[in-house]
Structure 1
Amino acid sequence: MTTDHDHALSGAYAVDALDADERARFETHLSQCADCRAEVDSLREAAALLGIADEVGPPPALRDDVLAGIERIRPLPPLTREPATVTPLFRRLPTLLAAAAAVVLLLGVGLAVLRPWSDGTEPPPQLSAAEQILRAGDATHVEKAFPDGSQATIVLSRSQGKALIRTKDMAPAPDGKVYELWLQTPAGKMIPAGLMPDESDTTYVLDGDAAEATGVGITVEPDGGSEQPTTQPIAVFPLES
């Protein structure tokens, strides 16, 4: 015979908080009760969604609400003797209350994971290294036009200690050669700063610390680059101090 207690076990069943006898009894009830089947399915679906989401903790307010709700539940008075009609359900009431709280937390965390910006705010944009340089308040630009009509621009942010180069219609390097970039130190030494991509229009962030660089140079080097310049620079971009 189905009782109200059978209907109340769906949450505990979903989080595997029933003992073997209760589980067998509830599964018999489950085969005859469409409402309980739907409820169990919905709880399991929520758990499955959590399994593919990033791990996050429940919002602090949710945990406080659950614990406060448990404290407001009036406990049953102790029994002087156990009537023959009392079922194991009452003896396991603390376990079932904990299971119910777990279900509430499960659903609450699911909402927090699936809708992390439900308070109406948007996540802060993640800027690339190049965008950070271009948007820096102290960004300076040094441009150069080549005889063939190509252009190159150095953008420097000393506060970030980084520089980048942007090219337009840049002719490719000769076969077996690459364009190598250099940062010039205050002492006049040229420090390798990376190899330019073999593309006519590109944006490339230079390697190394540009916070004190006095200039940027471009040389033509053998494939793979060089430890120090082996040719005269085809361009030198002086940087303001």
Structure 2
Amino acid sequence: MALTDLSRWKVAGLALATSSAAIFLVKLISDHFSSDDNNNNTKSTEFRIVIPGDKVGAVIGRKGRTLRRIEFETQTILELETSKPKVRSSSEASTDEWDLEDIGEEPKSLPNGVLRIHGERLNVEKAKLAVEAILIEAAVKRIREIITIPRETIGWVIGKGGESVQRMKIQCGVHINVGREGTGDTEEVSICGPPDGIALAKKLISCKVAKFYNRSSDFRPYRRSFGEDAEGELEEFLRVREELQQEEPEW
């Protein structure tokens, strides 16, 4: 298979892929194109990439910085078309609404976009590969896991006014959604984020559930002040994080 058959290139083991591997592939193929005939490389061309809706924010970047960086590094022009107003140039991008990287935010259900890359052939190939590297990184950066907890522990896990679950979101850098529509004795908890954050959140939730059953009969969990809750949960978070750091990673 020739290096120029880009449509056939796949990064094996996507679950274990890293941005470093993708960037290495970008460099490998870019070097190959650099050795091609210069006349072919300088011809102007256009390439289109379909961007999945939940990856649009990763490609644009905060305030359009990722698009601008790719344009600058590859000397190309990028235009992203979505159902929202067209981003004609990355320098015009104002993308707070698309930014999915904020801590605790779950990827939104967004329409697919079409990214047009304009420029010389070699530069377009470099930009294309840079975008594909971002898509690979975004695919493994955020995953989703679902765990179950006893229904009677839901209020204890969430905390008064959602304080406990909000702290876990911030501490672990994940989105946590506790279901309340189950009919059995258990309820699903959806955790979305990076693998290490998910592992930490699962451990903290398990600790919360264990504490629910271990508390004394005269304990009233919701009568504690926010400060007392926060202090105790911070200690728990630091302890669990240290334990996880000492363990062999499972991902």
Task: Indicate the TM-score class for this superposition, using the shorter chain for normalisation.
Answer: under 0.3
Which of the pair has more CA radius of gyration?
A: 1
Greater helix percent: which structure? 2
Greater strand percent: which structure? 1
Q: TM-score, normalised by structure 2?
A: 0.25
Q: Which has the higher contact order (CA 8 A, sep 6+)?
A: 2
Q: TM-score, normalised by structure 1?
A: 0.26
